[in-house]
Amino acid sequence: MNHGRTRFVAGFLAAPVALYLIYVIAPYAQAFSIAFTDWRGVNATPRFVGAENFRRLLDDDVFWTAVGHNLLLLVLLPVLTLGIALFFAFLLNAGGRGGTAGVRGSRFYRVVFFFPQVLAVAVVAVLFQQVFRPDRSGMLNAPLIALGLEPIGFLSSTDVAFWSILAVLVWQAVGFYVVLFSAGIASIPRELFEAAAIDGAQGAPLFLRVTLPLLWDTVQVGWVYLGIAALDVFAVVWVMTAEHGGPDHSTTVMAAEIYRTAFQYFKFGYASAMGVVLFFFTIGFAILALRLSRRERIEF
């Protein structure tokens, strides 16, 4: 009986596992092997160079600048996005009278918040290129120019460009997590909010002592997803910025340097070494985030 069940399960798993090995594991293995060669994408017999590509990375200032930007995004993007999303989700679902009901029109607000998720990342990047224009056509600079003030170089200043990119990433991601946290709050029994309100908990105490602990599993998942997104950000930087990571590498990230090295300089071996580093950064972050945010599950 158990033998037949094993064969039945194995028959269902065979095709998915085979596809996973072919389209996921095999490309990873190939990338790891290419990282130890000087392959330029055109020569049929790449030369094995051992760890030379990884030694070169240690002296690559541009790559480590990109790593620094990714690490900064790794901290700021989840903190800002989750903080704003939690704030709005709490207001929409538990910000009504007595802190036990949502505000009027909360369904409409959820749809509005979710709008950026409907747009492709490249469309968002092109849209904000126009928003940040340094002339009268720019939505943000037009009022400044009308008042006789100097326009702000949102994408041309090395001091401002990175923060402009961060603002776009947060703007695009917040809506999804507002909807996600709203669904989580809606699943919490209303009696818990009513009991907390009777005990005098409203506003911040209600959020910190009731809502956040019961949403912790959802916040944990959001933290991991946003951390991976921060390490993998590419399209917004590549489309929005001058020199695809400029000015003067002030907005470049690891994914942009990998793409540039592979498809502009045709150094596929060196680009694969960068990809291996990014892979271990991503895996290491996911493991660390799950361990640090682990806590006892609250049942309700």
Q: Which CATH architecture has domain 63-292?
A: Orthogonal Bundle (1.10)
CA distance 5 to 25: 27
CA distance 16 to 9: 12
Phi, then psi, of 178 in degrees rounded to 5: -60, -45
Residue in the structure block whose two tokens are 């990338």: 31
Query: Do residues 100 and 189 lie in contact, with contact meaning Cβ atoms separated by under 8 Å?
Result: no
Query: Do residues 184 and 218 lie in contact, with contact meaning Cβ atoms separated by under 8 Å?
Result: yes
Q: What is the pLDDT along the chain (300 residues), one digit of tens a residue?
A: 456 677 777 778 888 889 999 998 898 899 899 999 988 877 667 888 888 999 999 999 999 999 999 999 999 999 999 999 998 888 887 654 444 556 677 778 778 888 888 888 889 999 999 999 988 888 888 998 888 888 898 998 899 999 999 999 999 999 999 988 888 887 777 776 667 666 666 666 677 667 777 788 888 888 889 999 999 899 999 999 888 898 899 999 999 999 999 999 899 999 999 999 999 999 998 888 878 766 655 555
Nearest to 219 by CA among 98, 42, 82: 82
